[in-house]
Amino acid sequence: MYNLLKGKKGIIFGALNENSIAWKTAQRAYEEGAEFVLTNAPASIRMGELDVLAKNTNSQIIPADATSIEDLENLIEKSMEILGGKIDFVLHSIGMSVNVRKKKAYTDPNYDFTQKGWDVSAVSFHKVLNVLYHKKAMNEWGSIVALTYMAAQRVFPDYNDMADNKAYLESIARSFGYYFGRDFKVRVNTISQSPTPTTAGNGVKGFDGFINFSEKMSPLGNASAADCADYTISLFSDLTKKVTLQNLFHDGGFSNMGVSDAVMDKFE
């Protein structure tokens, strides 16, 4: 390894199990010399295996509902106590659509479900940024990253209202990122990742078919969760100090493809 994060301290949201991008990122951050706190909603902690990751990375767990300002204030304050100072990096890897879970069509949603998914998947990022900003919790040249998907720009019908949530998430990163850069020299970016077989990804209708299609469309093939973890580490490191307000496609080239020979072969 390269000690890219030696001496850096962070908070990682959203690790559930070993398939999670947040889980892989935590492993890589530990390998690169970082110290960090792990957090997730109490229900997700009960459902997942976060204690295993904490043990393997010598980390502490602080439960927090990312839609609650009070929980986030407690998380940030305790994290700085545990880590002995301000934060250098934060990963927001949270997303949920009740409409998808309940198989409600985009054209016939339950709007209470829509509100819940929007709050968890997107507004939670604004709240995280808000608490970090007002507590002046980030070190200069720190890095905040959220995970997104290109359904924010293009139509993927089965992605449902998560597409709207991701579009809002990306806008938050740009808008709040301006203030973080101006006031604290902190960068804020989103990574638009290939479809990845995480717990959340597997909940999308037709996911297996789509991941195969994406593999054939991408000249480099799909980026795995481990690949995404590597890319995230580069954004946490000092090698990307002037990269901010960006939505960075990490998808093997899929986002710039119109069609590929492999896909056309299926129709000829």
- Residues of each annotated binding site for NAD(+): 14, 20-21, 94, 166
Reported as half-sphere exposure (CB side, CA atoms, 13 A), residue 38 has a value of 30
Catalytic residue among 2, 30, 106, 159: 159
Name the amino acid, one letter, at 43: A
- Closest of 110, 86, 99 to residue 158, by C-alpha: 99
Active site residue 179: no
Q: Which residues pair with 12 in a beta bridge?
A: 38, 91
Q: Give the SS3 label for residue 260.
A: coil
CA 129, 131, 137, 140 dihedral sign is: positive
Measured CA to CA, the distance from residue 194 to residue 217 in angstroms comes to 11
Active site residue 159: yes
Measured CA to CA, the distance from residue 58 to residue 45 in angstroms comes to 17
Helix (H), strand (E) at residue 143: strand 138-148
Residue 57 phi, psi (nearest 5): -115, 10
Catalytic residue among 2, 30, 133, 149: 149
Measured CA to CA, the distance from residue 153 to residue 111 in angstroms comes to 22
Q: Which residues pair with 92 in a beta bridge?
A: 146
Q: Which two tokens stand for residue 115?
A: 């509100």
Measured CA to CA, the distance from residue 215 to residue 213 in angstroms comes to 5
Name the amino acid, one letter, at 63: P
The catalytic site residues sit at 149, 159
